[in-house]
Structure 1
């Protein structure tokens, strides 16, 4: 029963196995594939708090696997428990990283060392939403002098916990209402290709960007996305196809469109496009993606903007968002929050390794 409850809570479950859930594919079988096993084995050295035994593959998306594991903590008399382990590809360092759902661990009967509180612990607790509110409060008390932790906490509350967080939707909201100022860019995020071609969802992101860009003709567009998807022998990139679509189907002048053709994850999108924005002297940006993906993109871009502001004096701010509307669910939103926390933590290891 405990396995069933964990599966129902921790994964994006479709009523019909053939139903497509954006970004994630629920596996038809719980069998752990060779690719998922190899990814887990490559990163498992990070798992030092307990012994983890993979039990089932629950879902996957591009370069991310959700694996149910049976874990046993490293102390005498420890009882086994079940937890979720997310294995994701670090596109910047080309290694596999782990994200572990930690709050199903049974209470230990022996004395424990005081819980170490750092930004990684904070991100872990933020990603579990209501279940860890008490832990988040304790985290912030311990981190009240850490300016970046306070910034992330406040932005996470604004973006993930605020029910009134404003999403601007193409076709429903007038882009004229977007809070745009200064030299501006619309940053358009890619979506996995199918047989080397754009899917309808990626076309919808481009169409949303074109609508907004027509309203603000002095803005530039920055498209980000690498050569993704299976059966793509010619190595078509999301960004390259996005530019072609914007120019030939949406009427955007080619000199307005800049591309990043190497990004394979949302974190890659963030890092790579910031470099383009810096080189083009951009002051503000609007992120264009699908509605279910917007919160993760915003928290990543907001955090990197703050890191670069403090570290390099770079002043580029996120003015807002503009989305194509796409199917979502509470389960998918939980997944997205956990991946956001994992990628934020990865960002910190890249830009602030000493912390």
Structure 2
């Protein structure tokens, strides 16, 4: 078994993609059903080879269309909820870091309606194959389409591979090329970019609170962007005040900006722990923690017990009859 990992959410998308392309199912599919945010990398590699065998190299970039059947998954909503295509890729990069992916996207250049990206290994000697990169950019393409961009095109070097991937031309490319680059171009769509609704999170957050309106607006802004929290300067600009004024007002209420961010993260994490069966690692990613240990450490400091123990004590499984627990108290 490989000791490296892939995102279980991405695997579910790719497995759905096989169905969308009417390719035979992967027999190892049951291995993705465990309550984990990651699966061992061998399963992802097996799926790529399976699709390559039954659908050809040109099908790989279309496996990502399975994204459209997973719109309600929290990871999908979190990534598609980015304000623009550049931020969407940045959120994807965060997911790669969180699951310790051995391959990472890197934005080399960007501009209005374009991005230049490389896809490389984090250490020498583990460059992704052309096939792996096609799968990744296929998922990125579907996420961008779900976000609302139009006329998306993807090139590897000078060869267009999306929306139509030419099989004969792809077969002439080297399987591994560490200098290979990818170019994405698009135009703004009339469709509004998808944003993650935070109405319920916000309402639940402020229950019983005596916070003034400006602090509620600040917390709402943070709740909208837990994965990529705005800087103090950005938050101050959003409130039309100076950075110094914002910091002073928070200090007068016995709080700093970083403490408010931590409070928002722990409360939303607690809601997921109580209300869902999402794996702990996925909850940590959705709430913007840098990694699993950061989630466990910070949540335990603020709430008094680890995320695992919190779920065991207050999660849905502890209550008969199911239903919503949104009225149960959140961590202080």
TM-score, scaled relative to structure 1: 0.23
Q: Which one has a larger percent strand, Structure 1 or Structure 2?
A: 1
- Normalising to structure 2: TM-score of the pair? 0.24
Higher helix share: 2
